[in-house]
Amino acid sequence: MTLKRLATAVRRTRRPVRRGRAAPREQVGYARERRHVARVHPRRPAPGGAPAPVRPDGTYLITGGTGGLGLEAARTLHAAGARHLVLVGRGAPGAETARGITRLRDAGACVRTFTADAADLESMTAAFDAVGREAELPPLAAVLHLAGALDDGALLLQTRDRVRRAMAAKAVGAWNLHLLTRDTDLDALVLYSSASALLGTPGQAGYAAGNAFLDGLASYRNALGAPTAAVQWGSWAGTGMSHRAGLDEDLERSGEGTIPVEEGGAALLGLLAERPFADPVAVLPTDWRRLADHAADTLPSLLPLLPDRPPAGAAARPADFRAALDAARGEERRALLVREVRRQVGTVLGRAEEVDGDGDLFANGLDSLTAIRLRHGLQQAARVGLPQAVVFEHPTIDALAGHLLRAVDGDGGAEEDGEEGSAC
């Protein structure tokens, strides 16, 4: 994958629309009595762009800096010329991060670490005060906000506290940084947003909302004249939350892809060099056609202008399972459905071993999030609507296959009507 392909980014714009109803999954906002809809547009970095404005005489502070992705950001900045790095994290650096910090120091970087919670204004104020007292540290040049936390779960299982936890590190942390830097002449505040704010991610309502707040905060600060970049990153390969959750292979399989670390760092520097900052930019190594095949019913309608995306409803699996199902007769139809359900259960569980046909899927590792993915996959394969709770109500391979057979034959399909629009 070349940097040029990886850094294909999309800018979100808001076009005024005077009349008409919103399309399904449309993102609509109202301002001064005018209705606006969100759209994204493909863009590539300009060839031969200016070098990133990374200065050896400034300090670069990174929240979430003691995590794997924070350390990669520190390495990227140091390679581009930064000499003074401050890594802020909720906990002390782990052994791997400590080794990375040692390597940075051996390469000539001045690295300081501070323990503070980005969502706690008091502790962040103390960290900023401590940075200001460090004689060896020059004034702040830029702040990168990478702190984040996940508390995934199906929307109906979310609580106020769970949403608050998922949003706090991102949204409250970013607002605290805004308060602490609004009188500071920064080169940039870089907010690490997420593609979840753009595409939506099943089970991550709080996390997606927190990242969407970063996008809005960037626009607000830029309007105030405070240079702020919001970058909606896809998942990074080998590091970050998705990697720790073991999702790298699943992301590649679904078409969402992962960002190679070196190319992600190059994309960051390229985006820092583009001034003035404006709309949020997404960096997505995505195979849109494969993603549409995998999740056509959940992609937001702001995406049609992206390259390689087929028209709505045009996506089809390479092997047309529904056609084979329609051609089958008698017990062969049920056998096909059992095999398909078994295949998709193996896919979402991420393992090859088979689950017994009458074995409880949840006892075998399925959870509320993988149940959502399983439902989506079965809908795509069989081309039928399925109720939100279908996997919970039919928690075995045999029971799911039986329900699918009734839905395909038109017996039980009526209950699915009206459910589809409420997918998490």
Asked if 265 and 394 sit in the same domain, the reply is no
What's the domain range around 359?
A: 321-422
Integer angstrom CA distances of residue 386 from 293, 310, 374, 389, 421: 17, 23, 11, 8, 11
Span 258-269, average pLDDT: 88
Rounded Cα gap, residues 322 and 304, in angstroms = 26
409 against 16, higher pLDDT: 409
Give 423 or 187, the one with higher predicted confidence: 187
pLDDT tens digits, 114-156: 999 999 999 999 999 999 999 889 999 999 999 987 776 667 6
Residue 12, pLDDT score: 46
Query: Rg (Cα) of the chain, in Å, rounded?
Result: 24
402 or 288, which is more confident: 402
Q: Is residue 21 part of a domain?
A: yes
Question: Does 72 fall in a domain?
Answer: yes
* Cα 319 to chain centroid, rounded: 29
pLDDT for position 311: 44
- Residue 314, domain member (yes or no): no
- 310-341 residue pLDDT tens: 444 444 444 478 888 888 888 888 898 988 88
Same-domain pairing of 271 and 380? no
Q: Is the dihedral of CA 161, 166, 169, 174 positive or negative?
A: negative
Least confident of 117-131, 163-177, 282-296, 326-340: 282-296
Same domain, 49 and 167: yes
Which DSSP string do the residues of 307-334 spell out, in sequence order?
A: TTPPPTT----SS-HHHHHHH--THHHH
Proportion of the chain in helix, strand, coil states, percent, rounded to 5: 45, 15, 40
What contacts 79, CB < 8 A, 6 or more positions away?
Answer: 265
Say whether both 340 and 412 belong to one domain.
Answer: yes
Helix extents (H) in 160-247: 160-167, 173-181, 196-199, 205-223, 240-244
Residues forming a β-bridge with 191: 145, 230
CATH code for position 416: 1.10.1200.10
Please, which pLDDT band fits residue 409 given cuts at 50, 70 and 90? Answer: confident
> Which residues 6+ apart lie within 8 Å of 32 measured at CB?
none
Let me know whether 242 and 330 are in one domain: no
- Look at the chain and count its residues: 424
Any idea what the CATH number is for the domain that residue 129 is in?
A: 3.40.50.720
Do 154 and 104 sit in the same domain of this protein? yes
Cα separation, 138 vs 86, in Å, equals 11
Instruction: Tell me, yes or no, whether 159 and 229 share the same domain.
Output: yes
The first and second tokens of residue 126, run together, are 């103390």
The pLDDT assigned to 87 comes to 96
Give residue 41's pLDDT: 74
Residues 74, 112, single domain; the answer is yes
Domain termination site, one of 260, 278, 295: 295
User: Looking at the domain assignment, is residue 25 inside a domain?
Assistant: yes
The 10 Å CB-count burial string (b at 16+, else e) for 161-178 is eebebbbbbbbbbbbbbb
Flag the least confident range among 17-26, 180-189, 298-307, 376-385.
17-26
Q: What is the value of pTM for the model shown?
A: 0.70
In a domain, 246, yes or no: yes
Contacts of residue 183, defined as CB under 8 A and 6 or more positions apart, other chains included, come to none
CA distance 130 to 44: 40
- Residue 38, beta-bridge partner list: 14
Judge whether 304 lies within some domain: no
Same domain, 200 and 334: no
Best CA proximity match to 63, nearest among 100, 134, 113: 113
- Tens digit of each residue's pLDDT (9 = 90 or more) over 341-350: 888 888 777 6
Residue whose structure tokens are 């900023």: 128
Cα gap 34→192, rounded to integer Å = 30
Query: Do the domain assignments include residue 312?
Result: no
Copy the structure tokens of residue 40. Answer: 């994204």
| H or E element, residue 89 | strand 84-89
H helix runs in 171-204, sequence order: 173-181, 196-199
Helix (H) or strand (E) holding 130: helix 121-133
Residues contacting 37, CB < 8 A, separation 6+: 14, 15, 17, 22, 26, 27, 28, 29, 302
Domain assignment present for 257: yes
The total number of structural domains in the chain stands at 2
Whether 141 and 235 map to the same domain: the answer is: yes
Q: Which tokens sit at 187? A: 């080169």
231 and 380 assigned to the same domain: no
Based on the fold, state whether residues 138 and 38 are members of the same structural domain. yes
